[in-house]
Amino acid sequence: MADRRLQVFHTVARLLSFTKAAETLHMTQPAVTFQVRQLEEHFNTRLFDRTHNRISLTEAGRVVYESSERIFEVYAEMENAVREITGEISGALAIGASTTIAEYMLPTLLGDFKERYPEVTVHLKVSNTEGIVSMVESNAIDLGVVEAPVSNKNLVVEVCKQDQLVAIVPPNHPLATLEEIEVPRLLEFPFICREEGSGTREVISDYLQVQPSCNTALKIAMELGSPEAIKGAVEAGMGVSVVSKTTIQKELRLGTLVALQLNPPLDRPFSFVHQKQKFRLHVMEELLEFAREYCRTQREKAA
């Protein structure tokens, strides 16, 4: 219902990128440019300065951006008030999740949410934890779900559930007969890990730093970009790794991987992260509450 030109302009101004705005709005870049030009023609002035492939707001652009912020805040208030009266839950949400969560936790959660609220459209973006936090900071997504601590104190972080990490080896590996392992023994073998910026890698690095007996340098045999790739490399005998226990249930059943408990244990939180907005669309509040209930149920099953 809000002016489409203003919505598009606001997104470009917030991200300071026509390309990122097009991705966020699921539009082509020419369509985004057209909407902004229409708004500039309406005001008969430039709203952006374009130099060396970078854009910045003009003085008029800053006025329009600040005004649009207030307009959309009032608009969200109005949406929420009316939907409270009618009980209707609809709209679109952009969610971001780190790779492990997107592949192994969100399908069930979002499937159940979509079944209860079929009028809601959910757009899912997948990246590592660092990328998801960046998207939340820039308002490119409404809600992030991450697997590592978030340092930005201006964001709201809610722990959803605890995730256990375990060492994995192939069945024919010398360590495969063990039930648990200490870090120095594990690090005697080539280690396969996630890429820089991954929440899993950050948690493992922090864990290693606080182990008093861990004097051995990490022999990184390979850096890979997903849990599936890591599992495949370990199955092929290329090294050992540490992964979320959630990601290896199928391999444990099939006997293609062996899991070893770490001593001391390594747990990490799966967390929701979002902006401290005074007003959020009703559909966002419903998703957050639905996700909290999902996490409570998962914790009770694990207990």
Three-state SS annotation for 13-30? HHHCCHHHHHHHHCCCHH
Overall residue count recorded for the chain in this entry: 303
- Average pLDDT estimate for 249-264: 94
Given pLDDT bands bounded at 50, 70 and 90, which one contains residue 215? low
Q: How confident is the model at residue 281, as a pLDDT? A: 65
The reported pLDDT for the residue numbered 98 is 85
pLDDT score for 212: 66
Rounded to whole angstroms, the Cα distance separating 95 from 291 reads 12
pLDDT (0 to 100) of residue 88:
63
Position with higher pLDDT, 269 vs 213: 269
pLDDT band at 173 (very low <50, low <70, confident <90, very high): very high
Tell me the percentage of the chain whose pLDDT exceeds 90: 39
Q: List helix spans (H) across the chain.
A: 4-15, 18-25, 29-43, 59-86, 99-104, 106-116, 129-137, 183-186, 199-209, 227-235, 249-254, 282-302
For the chain, what percent of residues have pLDDT higher than 70?
Answer: 91
Work out the average pLDDT over 102-113.
Answer: 88
Instruction: Give the tens place of pLDDT for each residue, 1-42.
Output: 458 899 899 989 988 999 888 888 888 999 999 999 999 999
The residue among 266 and 210 whose pLDDT is bigger is 266
Beta-carbon count within 10 A of 270 CB:
23
- Among 3-7, 38-42, 91-95, 243-247, the least confident range: 91-95
Say yes or no: domain 4-86 is CATH 1.10.10.10.
Answer: yes
CA 9 to chain centre: 25
* Higher-confidence position of 83 and 137: 137
End-to-end CA distance of the chain: 46
Residue range(s) of every CATH 1.10.10.10 domain in the chain = 4-86
Q: Which CATH code for domain 163-267?
A: 3.40.190.10
Flag whether pLDDT at 241 surpasses 60. yes
**Residue 216's pLDDT band (cuts 50, 70, 90):** low
* Tokens coding 270: 């799966």
pLDDT range class, residue 130, cuts 50, 70, 90: confident
Average pLDDT of the segment spanning 112-139: 87
* pTM score, whole prediction: 0.66
What is the rounded average pLDDT of the residues 222-232?
92
Asked if the model's pLDDT at residue 217 lies above 60, the reply is no
Give the model's pLDDT for residue 90. Answer: 65
Q: Is 257 a residue whose pLDDT tops 90?
A: yes
Tokens representing 9 are 């302009």
pLDDT of residue 219: 72
How far is Cα 81 from Cα 76, in angstroms, rounded to an integer? 9
Q: Which residue has the higher pLDDT, 211 or 206?
A: 206
- The first and second tokens of residue 295, run together, are 């996490």
Where in the chain are all domains bearing CATH 3.40.190.10?
91-161+270-301, 163-267
Helix H or strand E encompassing 146: strand 143-146
**pLDDT-derived band of residue 69, with 50, 70 and 90 as boundaries?**
confident
Residue of 115, 116, 95 lying closest to 106 (CA atoms): 95
Task: Provide the pairing of β-strand 241-244 with 143-146.
Answer: unpaired
How far does Cα 214 stand from its chain's mean position?
Answer: 31
Question: 156 with 226: CB under 8 angstroms?
Answer: no
- Which class is 91-161+270-301 in CATH? alpha beta
Cα–Cα distance between 59 and 48 in angstroms, integer?
9
| Rounded Cα–Cα distance for residues 147 and 35 (Å) | 37
Q: Does 232 have pLDDT greater than 70?
A: yes
> Does residue 76 have a pLDDT over 80?
no
Q: How confident is the model at residue 225 (pLDDT cuts 50, 70, 90)?
A: confident
